[in-house]
């Protein structure tokens, strides 16, 4: 009887620990998504080629320091309504030899 009681208590503790880890991981994932957004300022928009020049802060996922550079927009529609001087938040990845803006929105 004692073995059954101990096994039940141990199982309950492990279950609660796993549940707490899942909740923490979910919360951390949301923070990580926000943290992956970089700050930038639009310097040039080329709708024809689907490119935008941004002066940006560090891009953590690419290990890139602040600089000004040209990005290709994953979707040209992301560039609609952008003007030189606009402050933006964006996410970027490297695809082949190009740096691609995967998400772009006006900064708050």
Co-location of 26 and 10 in the same domain = yes
Residue 22: which domain range?
A: 1-35
Q: What CA–CA distances, in Å, run from 71 to 8, 27, 75, 103?
A: 57, 30, 11, 12
pLDDT mean over 78-99 = 96
Query: Which residues neighbour 57 within 8 Å (Cβ) at sequence distance 6 or greater?
Result: 38, 39, 40, 66
Is 10's pLDDT higher than 90? no
- Is 49 found in the same domain as 86? yes
- Same domain? 98 vs 48: yes
Domain match, 53 and 97 both = yes
Taking CA atoms, 68 is separated from 7, 27, 52, 74, 96, in Å, by: 60, 32, 10, 19, 20
- Does 64 share its domain with 17? no
Residues 29 and 48 in one domain: no
As for how many domains the chain has, the answer is: 2
**Whether residues 86 and 56 fall in one domain:** yes
Does pLDDT of 47 surpass 50?
A: yes
Q: What pLDDT does 33 receive?
A: 54
% of the chain with per-residue pLDDT over 70: 68
Average pLDDT over residues 6-32: 45
């Amino acid at each position: 009887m004692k073995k059954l009681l101990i096994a039940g208590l141990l199982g309950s503790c492990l279950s609660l620990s796993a549940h707490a880890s899942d909740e923490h991981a979910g919360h951390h994932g949301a923070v990580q998504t926000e943290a992956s957004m970089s700050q930038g300022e639009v310097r040039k928009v080329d709708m024809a080629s689907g490119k935008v020049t941004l002066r940006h802060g560090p891009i953590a996922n690419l290990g890139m320091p602040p600089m000004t550079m040209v990005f290709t927009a994953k979707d040209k529609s992301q560039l609609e309504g952008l003007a030189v001087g606009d402050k933006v938040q964006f996410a970027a990845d490297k695809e082949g030899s190009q740096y691609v803006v995967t998400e772009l929105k006006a900064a708050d």
